[in-house]
């Protein structure tokens, strides 16, 4: 019996050594295989009745530090996130250039400023006016190009999100398949180590796309979750659904509902993604690139308003300004423009002048509005309020009474204040003054505009022509269909209860209102708007990110002009909310007024002047007052709202443009530094992981010698036992 035990023990040793040799051979063969971890063969002694009867082999194990590997995957996800962001920041830096580059927006603004200075020095030169309009158009195109490319980058980011989600689904499906194979291998006593290596490589790739957590089941399969605990993979994987957007507009946002959610069934997991390539793409699409868009929209808006305010104080000459169509849209109800305006300071002089620049007739707005002889019939209140139809009607009656019998003034079917002189050799000019007296000092009037005709002024505007937008340099085809608050921090709440009322071209005046309660957050205000029956299907509110804060955004769903008014006590807190027409996308849609591109001589260089000696108003080709004011718009300090995280303050237009470029360059540099550091950290962890799990040829050759010797020894035992059996057999015979 003892010889049998010896023979069996020797045979088990022979088989074990053979298994060891197989393991070493497998390790050596895969020394350069990516993701392969060294397999460790561990023999176990076999006992029977307290006596050793040989050796057996246990399941081959991988030499892997699971904790280190988890850290490596997490670091790899951070590296992928920063690397992806860095790729986009490089594109941004190439797009914006450096402050001194001749193609940068700051340099183009500086060129336009210099052009206005030249125009002011020689205002009679028509070629300078033409050059100025070309420079103004160049900036228009530069703003549009920047905006278009930013939105193209956002579109690309959204498309990349779709591709990354498809990759995540592929990884999860493959891991699910390996889970089944690993569970079967373990259940049947077969080796699962190589399958686990393949699964680890898939987990590494998955972690670079998004952060996940997981645990290993007793069967050897793993269950995968998102950071917040939503199951991605259990017995089967759960597919993530996502639909990329073909084209992205500047006002599109995830918070506003313009981008698809990443969903698993009814669960939205978008906010569960906290690192990896997907996180970087989401941040670029929803935060970083929109912040840049917000900054250039702010710059374009401030430049437009400063130039328009100056240009609207002037008049063209010797080219006669006989056709003026405003840019402001008035809401008409049953064909009538019943919104009202009121002069709260000063008066507006109206002068008809001849082809030689001399005065043909003059009056003031307040005078004609009180003139009972001018239609509409009856004297109206001094300084207002007057409906816009009344203002147009009185102005038309006065022009016709002064011999311009075919002149028309009306709020047209598009809601624009439309003045047509319809006479050759006559022009019309406006001059804001401190008082109604002839020759009173020039000064912008202050107008209180009641946008919902409820008897309370909602907006204060400086300058009559500027209020109507009769002589704008820049305009936009984009309607005021969206309103936004200023950038709000996380602590903002409504200071008092108030009522927000809504009016629009499509739905008329005061078509709906909502009561906002004291202490409401922006999200609660948005919810109240969205849950108000009278606004349902007409208006949608959302809270969208902007730089270091958020904005309350209210959208008119039919795309027409909208007015949002507030009724309630005055409070600094409501001033902080600052609801105004949205600037989102203005840089993309701004354009030089058509009448200026058609005839650059319509560019206003001078203004209506008063001659104290003759007691009459006049216009002159030598007047450069307005050209000087427009040049000064570039050299004077301008105020800017907090936009895209760029701090507010007073800067010249060129300096704000340079600040945008500098901010973009700074973020790109910070991104590169962070990427380089994280890449080094990931490489260090990878090196440490390789030191533990990679195949070492010296170790394998040493093991090869051990198993070779043990194999030979076991074979010798078998040979000796055979001889002993032969001797025993001879004795028995």
Model confidence over 632-658: pLDDT tens digits?
A: 999 999 999 999 999 778 999 999 999
Beta carbons of 311 and 129 less than 8 angstroms apart = no
Look up the CATH number of domain 482-584. Answer: 3.30.70
Task: Tell which wins on pLDDT, 650 or 695.
Answer: 650
- Could you tell me how many residues make up the chain? 733
The pairing of strands 340-345 and 386-387 is antiparallel
Q: Given this model, what pLDDT does residue 452 score?
A: 92
DSSP string for residues in 81-139: HHHHHHHHHHHHHHHH--TT-TTSHHHHHHHHHHHHHHHHHTTT-HHHHHHHHHHHHHH
User: Tokens representing 611?
Assistant: 């001659």
Task: State residue 98's pLDDT score.
Answer: 77
Contact in structure between 703 and 20 (CB atoms under 8 Å): yes
Least confident of 34-43, 300-309, 325-334, 544-553: 34-43
138: pLDDT strictly greater than 60: yes
Tell me what pLDDT residue 572 has: 57
- Which letter does DSSP use for residue 440 in this model? P
Residue 7 has pLDDT above 80, yes or no: no
Helix (H) or strand (E) holding 475: strand 474-476
Which tens digits make up the pLDDT trace of 50-83? 667 677 776 777 888 889 999 999 999 999 999 9
Percent pLDDT > 90 in the chain is 76
Asked whether the beta carbons of 134 and 261 are under 8 A apart, the reply is no
- Name the percent of the chain in helix, strand, coil, to the closest 5: 45, 20, 35
The torsion angles phi and psi of 390, rounded to 5 degrees, stand at -65, -40
Strands (E), 248-310: 263-264, 267-268
Q: Where in the chain is the domain with CATH 3.30.70?
A: 482-584
Q: How far apart are CA 295 and CA 312, in angstroms?
A: 26
Name, in order, each residue with C-beta under 8 angstroms of 188's C-beta and a sequence gap of 6 or more. none
Tokens found for residue 280: 């970087």
pLDDT over threshold 90, residue 702: no
Q: Can you give the pLDDT at residue 377?
A: 85
Please tell me whether residue 603 adopts helix, strand or coil conformation: coil
Residue 215 parent element (H or E): strand 213-216
User: Any alpha helices (H) in 349-433, and if so which ranges?
Assistant: 365-369, 388-401
Place of tokens 């008409």: 332
Q: Which H or E element spans position 75?
A: helix 66-96
Does pLDDT of 691 surpass 80?
A: yes
Distance, CA of 547 to CA of 334 (rounded, Å)? 42
Highest mean pLDDT among 32-36, 130-134, 689-693: 130-134
Structure tokens belonging to residue 253: 């946002």
Give the Cα separation of 470 and 451 in Å (integer): 18
Q: What are the angstrom distances between the C-alpha of 22 and each of 163, 367, 715?
A: 42, 108, 17
pLDDT of residue 733 exceeding 70, the answer is no
What's the pLDDT tens digit per position in 564-600? Answer: 998 876 655 667 788 999 999 999 999 999 999 999 9
pLDDT of the residue at 51: 67
- State if pTM tops 0.85: yes
Q: Which 3 state secondary structure label does DSSP give 292?
A: helix
The mean pLDDT value of the chain amounts to 91
Range with the lowest mean pLDDT among 23-27, 601-605, 632-636? 23-27
Question: For the segment 422-455, what is each residue's pLDDT rounded down to a tens digit?
Answer: 998 999 999 999 999 999 999 999 999 999 999 9
Tokens standing for residue 24: 């070493």
Structure letter (DSSP) for residue 533: G
Mean pLDDT of 161-174: 97
| Both structure tokens of 41 | 């063969």
Number of helical (H) and strand (E) elements in the chain, helices listed first: 17, 32
Which whole-number Å values give the CA distances from 266 to 168, 212, 238, 245, in the listed order? 18, 19, 12, 20
> Each residue of 538-573: pLDDT tens digit?
999 999 999 999 999 999 999 999 999 988 766 556
Q: How far apart are CA 621 and CA 123, in angstroms?
A: 7
Alpha helices, H only, 233-288: 277-283
Taking 90 as the threshold, does the pLDDT of residue 178 lie above it? yes
pLDDT-wise least confident of 100-109, 480-489, 518-527, 698-707: 698-707
H/E element, 433: strand 426-433
DSSP SS3 for 298: helix
pLDDT at 506 over 70: yes
CA 115-432-616 angle, to 5 degrees, is: 95
CB 27 within 8 A of CB 38: yes
- CA 554/CA 143 separation, integer angstroms: 25
| Structure tokens given for 217 | 């089941």
What local confidence, expressed as pLDDT, does residue 1 receive? 46
């Amino acid at each position: 019996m003892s010889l049998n035990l010896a023979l069996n023990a020797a045979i088990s040793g022979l088989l074990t050594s053979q298994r060891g040799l197989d393991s070493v051979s497998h390790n050596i063969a895969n020394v350069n295989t990516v993701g392969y971890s060294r397999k460790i063969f561990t023999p176990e002694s076999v006992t029977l009745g307290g006596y050793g009867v040989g050796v057996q082999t246990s399941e081959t194990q991988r030499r892997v530090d699971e904790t280190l590997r988890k850290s490596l995957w997490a670091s790899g996800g951070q590296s992928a996130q920063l690397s992806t962001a860095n790729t986009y920041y490089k594109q941004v830096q190439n797009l914006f250039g450096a402050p001194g580059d001749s193609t940068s927006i700051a340099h183009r603004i500086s060129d336009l400023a210099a052009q206005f200075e030249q125009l002011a020095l020689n205002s009679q030169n028509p070629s300078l006016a033409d050059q100025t309009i070309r420079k103004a158009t160049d900036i228009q195109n530069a703003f549009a190009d920047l905006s278009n490319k930013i939105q193209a980058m956002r579109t690309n980011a959204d498309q990349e999100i779709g591709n990354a989600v498809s990759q995540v689904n592929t990884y999860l499906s493959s891991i699910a398949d390996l889970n089944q194979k690993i569970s079967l291998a373990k259940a049947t006593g077969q080796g699962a180590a190589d399958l686990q290596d393949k699964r680890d490589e898939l987990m590494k790739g998955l972690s670079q796309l998004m952060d996940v957590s997981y645990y290993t089941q007793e069967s050897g399969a793993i269950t995968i979750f998102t950071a917040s605990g939503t199951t991605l993979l259990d017995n089967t994987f759960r597919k993530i659904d996502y639909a990329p957007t073909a084209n992205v507009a500047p006002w599109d946002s995830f918070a506003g509902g313009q981008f698809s959610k990443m969903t698993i069934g009814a669960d939205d997991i978008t906010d569960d993604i906290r690192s990896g390539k997907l996180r970087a793409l989401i941040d670029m699409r929803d935060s970083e690139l929109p912040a840049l868009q917000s900054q250039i929209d702010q710059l374009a808006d401030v430049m437009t308003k400063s130039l328009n305010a100056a240009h609207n104080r002037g008049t063209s000459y010797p080219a006669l300004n006989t056709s003026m169509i405003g840019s402001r849209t008035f809401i008409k109800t049953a064909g009538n423009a019943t919104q009202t305006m009121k002069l709260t300071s000063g008066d507006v002089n109206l002068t008809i002048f001849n082809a030689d620049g001399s005065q043909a007739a003059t009056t003031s707005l307040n005078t004609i509005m009180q003139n009972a002889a001018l239609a509409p019939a009856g004297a109206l209140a001094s300084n207002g309020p007057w409906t816009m139809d009344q203002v147009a009607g009185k102005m038309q009656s006065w022009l016709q009474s002064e011999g311009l019998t075919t002149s028309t003034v009306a709020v047209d079917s598009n809601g624009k204040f439309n003045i047509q002189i319809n006479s050759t050799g006559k022009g019309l000019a406006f001059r804001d003054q401190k008082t109604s007296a002839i020759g009173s000092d020039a000064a912008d009037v202050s107008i209180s505009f009641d946008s919902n005709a409820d008897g309370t002024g909602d907006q204060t505007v400086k300058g009559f022509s500027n209020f109507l937008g009769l002589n704008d340099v820049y305009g936009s085809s984009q309607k005021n269909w969206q309103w936004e608050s200023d950038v709000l921090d996380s602590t903002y709440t409504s200071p008092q209860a108030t009522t927000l009322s809504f009016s629009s071209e499509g739905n008329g005046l005061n078509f709906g209102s909502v009561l906002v309660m004291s202490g409401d957050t922006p999200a609660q205000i948005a919810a109240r708007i969205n849950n108000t029956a009278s606004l349902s299907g007409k208006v949608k509110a959302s809270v969208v990110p902007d730089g270091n804060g958020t904005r309350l955004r209210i959208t008119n769903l039919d795309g027409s002009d909208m007015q949002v008014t507030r009724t309630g006590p005055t409070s600094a807190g409501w001033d902080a909310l600052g609801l105004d027409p949205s600037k989102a996308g203005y840089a993309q849609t701004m354009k030089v007024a058509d009448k200026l591109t058609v005839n650059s001589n319509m560019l206003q260089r001078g203004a209506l002047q008063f001659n104290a000696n003759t007691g009459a108003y006049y216009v002159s080709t030598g007047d450069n007052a307005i050209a000087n004011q427009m040049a000064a718009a570039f050299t004077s300090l301008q105020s800017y709202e907090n936009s895209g995280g760029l701090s507010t303050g007073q800067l010249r237009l060129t300096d704000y443009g340079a600040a945008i470029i500098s901010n973009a360059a700074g973020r790109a540099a910070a991104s590169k530094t962070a990427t380089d550091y994280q890449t080094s950290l990931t490489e260090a962890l990878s090196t440490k992981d390789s030191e533990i799990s990679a195949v070492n040829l010296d170790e394998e050759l040493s093991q090869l010698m051990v198993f070779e010797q043990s194999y030979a020894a076991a074979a010798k035992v078998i040979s000796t036992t055979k001889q002993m059996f032969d001797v025993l057999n001879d004795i028995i015979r």
